[in-house]
Amino acid sequence: MTYRHLLTIAAVDGIVFGVGFLLVPDLIVGILGPRPDTLAQLAFRQVGAAVLGMAVVDWLGRNAEDVEARRAIVAGNLVSFVPIAITAGYAAATGVTNALGWGVAAFHAVMAVGFAWLLAARRRLAEPQLSPR
């Protein structure tokens, strides 16, 4: 998977869940099982804003040519996706979420591995884009 493809997937995921958490956290979280209380909804709205911000960075940075900019974007995504995968897996394993929680954990784990691979394979970050902007 290329840098551009991984950032595009991360951006779409971030936009969908960022907007969802920001506008209708009870609906989005309710799909996974528990209904959040008022304080949890506030926390989810704040998380949604942060996720949406990262999605914008991913979308706008998917065409970045500068290797240092790419490395920073990939590292930021790795720092985001790893703990999400771990906490989602923990929530599913302990019954906090329903079976869909495993899907959330798996998706974020795959994304984390992709970003770790890009970061470890420095030459992949330096490859030119295959398609023009």
Mean of pLDDT over the chain: 91
Query: How far, rounded to the nearest angstrom, does the alpha carbon of residue 132 sit from its chain's CA centroid?
Result: 25
pLDDT number for residue 133: 47
- Measured from the Cβ of residue 53, the count of other Cβ atoms closer than 10 Å reads 12
**Each residue of 87-107: pLDDT tens digit?**
999 999 999 999 999 999 999
**Each residue of 68-77: pLDDT tens digit?**
999 999 999 9
Its pTM stands at 0.86
